[in-house]
Structure 1
Amino acid sequence: MAAYREILTGLDTGVLTITLNRPERLNAWTGLMQTEVETAIRAGGADDAVRCIVITGAGRGFCAGADMNGLQSIQASGGENYQASRPEVERPAPSPLEQAFPGRFGHMFACPKPIIAAINGPCAGIGLILTLFADLRYAASEAKFTTAFSQRGLIAEHGIAWQLPRLVGEANALDLLFTARKFDGAEAERLGLVNKALPGGELMAHVGEVAQHLATQVSPRSVAIMKRQIRESYFQSYGDSLAVADAEMEASFATHDFKEGVASFVERRAPAFTGK
């Protein structure tokens, strides 16, 4: 794994864990952290040894939002420092899917590996947006969430105005954005913002089980195509989505993973998927 300054990375049995690592600031988001997280996700997406990616926070927080020093710098410059807060990353030519989802986090939708957000503590502002671009979200029941933007004189940034209503419905999205009220992981589950909320002491064990299942028990090829199908469907008619499914299903029949999926079921053994 590459050396980073504001994140930690570790690979274990096909699961790449990315840990936001500024615990003394509740992992407040910086331009460097943005660059390092994106770099790690892109590297994981291209690495055959990685089957699943987990993002979590060091210490007692997930991400408290944008670092206040950065916001003060932007405020003092009248906004001139805003784009400078996002250092450039060396990126491959964008795929059609990434072109459909530009911005700071669209690359997560285009990543072929499933991404899980393990929200272990306070999750605010841009930290909350980060989780919305994960594929699965699990939270500590007691974790505190807030959109925060309206209380900072800001707006619904980085795609949250598009993404949040699709997860929780328009009325709930407007409530969370207008009021910037705090809510906990248990309410996040009721709203549909997270897949499941658990007591904090059980969170990482549960996420680990889900990640290991995705890393060992399902075809990585199937998961990558399903992820792309879902995200492309936002811009497709039903007929177009069905046509893609028909073509992908036919292509699946010639793959190793299809043969292995059938054989492992018939032989009652664990599958050995290759993604091919």
Structure 2
Amino acid sequence: MADTDILYDVSQRIATVTLNRPDRLNAYTASLGEQLRAAMRRATDDPGVRVIILTGAGRGFCAGADMDNLAAGTASGGATLAAENPKALPQPFDPASSPDYQTVHSYFPAVPKPIIAAINGACAGLGLVYALYCDQRFAAAGAKFTTAFARRGLIAEHGISHTLPRLVGLSKALDLLVSARKFDADEALRLGVVDRVLPPDQLMAATRAYALDLADNVSPRSMAVIKRQLWAVDQLSMRQAIEVGNQEMLASFGSEDFKEGVAHFVEKRPAAFTGR
């Protein structure tokens, strides 16, 4: 990629997207946001990519919106204006996805591949918003978290008022959002904000090992459908969720990946899924 606020690398069918403003703890700017979306589009459109890892360069994951922008009163810059004007947004990753996942910041759930956040350091404000839109979160021991908004005179923005209580429950979300206190990776694990805590020097290796298992042994089609089902579940009744599951199961029976899933098991060989 020509711009350098984001680094992009593909290896073993895993795309690693790295926020690359280490001197600012990878603080968010409109330019970084545009490059991040372009990287996710690139990974989405590449049939050679099956899993995405999002991480940060240097000591931080993402320290939130760049304070220089906040001081100037621009917050997320032009991205905020675009969020209020759907005509200004790029094409959605999945046009059939909920409008909830077609805004400037909320598009990760519409990316049809698992996104795993490897949280290597400070994760605050808008950085936490992005981490919560990932499908899973692995954190380095010692990483610090905060919602930050209330201590900046701001509110729970960009959907965190939905994603955070979805993970930790209403009262714990209220605590983290209203107090905007800092909490560490161990507490994040206890609360359910993150899924694993690892020694800092093992974070990327462990995240890649998990991602590689998905890339090598799991149907890409199944991952995409299951991800869509889970992110939509809050918008459906139980009956609707059952009906969607039944429809998707019938479609799965006709897929190449289903035939391969049975064949590799019966033949006791590694899977060779195509995603079709």
Q: TM-score, normalised by structure 2?
A: 0.93
- Is 2:37 the partner of 1:34? no
Question: How many angstroms does 1:244 deviate by?
Answer: 1.3
Matches within 5 A, 1:1-276: 2-74=1-73, 83=80, 90-92=90-92, 95-276=95-276
The whole-number CA distance in structure 2 between the counterparts of 1:80 and 1:64 is 16
Task: Give the drift of 1:47.
Answer: 1.6
For this pair of structures, how many residues does the alignment match? 273
- How far does the alpha carbon of each residue in 1:4-62 deviate from its partner, in whole angstroms, 9 at most, with x for none? 22010000011010000011111111110111111111221122111011100001111
Q: In 2, Cα distance between the equivalents of 1:145 and 1:192?
A: 13
- Using the alignment, how far apart are the partners of 2:77 and 2:11 within structure 1? 42
Off by >6 Å, runs of 4+ in structure 1? 79-82
For the Cα contact (< 8 Å) 2:29–2:77, is it kept in 1?
A: no
Verify the 8 A CA contact 2:92 2:102 in the aligned structure 1: no
Structure 2: gaps (5+ residues): none
1:207/1:82 CA distance change after superposition, 3 Å: closer
> What SS is found at the alignment partner of 2:61?
coil
Write the distance in 2 (CA, Å) between the matches of 1:90 and 1:81. Answer: 13
Q: 1:93 to 1:45 in 2, by over 3 A?
A: closer
Q: Distance in 2 between matches of 1:127 and 1:185?
A: 15
Q: Separation in 2 of the partners of 1:172 and 1:196?
A: 19
Q: Deviations over 1:102-138 (max 9, x none)?
A: 4332211111010000000011000000000000100
Percentage of identical aligned residues = 49
Matching residue's letter, 1:61: G
Equivalent residues of 1:189, 1:196 under 8 A apart: yes
Please identify, of 92-101 and 111-120, the stretch whose mean Cα deviation from structure 2 is larger: 92-101
Aligned alpha-carbon RMSD (Å): 2.1
Structure 1 residues not aligned, in runs of 5+? none
TM-score, normalised to structure 1, is 0.93
Matched position secondary structure for 1:74: coil
Judge conservation of contact 1:65–1:128 (CA < 8 Å) in 2: yes
What secondary structure is seen at the aligned counterpart in 2 of 1:9? Answer: strand
Cα distance in 2 for residues equivalent to 1:6 and 1:206:
25
Pairwise CA distance, 1:90: 3.7
Matches of 2:126 and 2:90 in 1, distance apart? Answer: 22
Q: How far is the alpha carbon of 1:95 from its aligned partner? A: 1.6
